[in-house]
Amino acid sequence: MTAQPGAVRLHAIVTGRVQGVGFRATTHQVASKLGLAGWVRNLQSGGVEVVAEGETDSLQALETFLHQGPGAARVAHVNVQWTAAVGESLPFAVKPTM
């Protein structure tokens, strides 16, 4: 799949109390509302991994959400890397734990 012109990619690892609190489901909702392509999944380490592609403004809104998470979450750290988009698919998906 080819990336949309002007699209960028956000890759984030979120740590803290982020599993078992609806973090993936809420990230899925937020990313879908923003029209982003990509996915979210739990990591065996206890963190959550997010890959999203789209317009910079939408990705910045997603990053802001990742720093807060849903109400029951307690985000300790968000490690974000920005790169050129590679063509993630729509719709935004929840992947199995890795």
The residues carrying an active-site annotation are 24, 42
CA geometry: angle at 26 spanning 94 and 64, to 5°? 110
Query: Cα 81 from chain centroid?
Result: 11
Q: How many residues does the chain have?
A: 98
Report the distance separating Cα 14 and Cα 5, nearest Å.
28
Report the distance separating Cα 18 and Cα 24, nearest Å.
8
